[in-house]
Amino acid sequence: MSRIGKKPVELPKGVTASVSGQTVEVKGPKGVRSFSATDDVTITVEDNVIKVMPRGTSKRARQQWGMSRSMVENLVTGVTTGFKKELEISGVGYRATMNGPNTLKLALGYSHDVNFAVPAGVTVTAPKQTEIVIEGIDAQLVGQVAANIREWRGPEPYKGKGIKYKGEFIFRKEGKKK
């Protein structure tokens, strides 16, 4: 039995869900999201609750049970509160600014500035020169955009310079000794 799959997903006020076949569509104040489940699970909506049940006892059905329930919960969370990732930049001369609504300009110690094109469905802001905030209703897209930005200059272990997630611990190394 899946501990995650057994829990029903409750729909808050202002959120509606509809199931057609294996596709779940959730509408809320922030937008509309949908998810197509495999044939190994059955998804039902009743009394402001979405339930996911396996269609058999096979290993694949049990695997898809918990994963499908988590995906449905992410749909509901996305259309109600949304998802948010925060990045911190540390290093002398390292900074980020918004260059228009869809371009993030990063100065990361290279000979040139990096212009990062922000994809549709995600909003990126730079409240300070050393902070980047990524928000959206799709958890996967928000995480992927954050990872793509961090990839330009990941944190290094000696001085801790680079782009890191807010609250992330960077394991520091000791430099050479004479």
Q: Which amino acid is at 39?
A: D
Q: What pLDDT, in 10s, does the model give residues 38-56?
A: 999 999 998 899 999 999 8
What is the average pLDDT across 73-91?
Answer: 94
CATH code assigned at 135:
3.90.930.12
Name residues whose C-beta falls within 8 Å of residue 104's C-beta, 6 or more positions apart in sequence.
96, 97, 98, 115, 116, 118, 124, 126, 132, 149
Q: Which domain holds residue 48?
A: 3-80
**How many domains would you assign to the chain?**
2
* 3-state secondary structure at position 76: helix
Same domain, 93 and 73: no
74 phi and psi angles, rounded to 5 deg: -65, -35
pTM for the structure as a whole = 0.87
172 belongs to a structural domain: no
Using the 3D structure, point to which of 45, 80, 115 is the last residue of a domain.
Answer: 80
Tell me the pLDDT tens digit for each residue of 134-170. 999 999 999 999 999 999 999 999 998 999 999 999 9
17 with 54, same domain: the answer is yes
Cα 90–95–96 angle (5° rounding)?
125
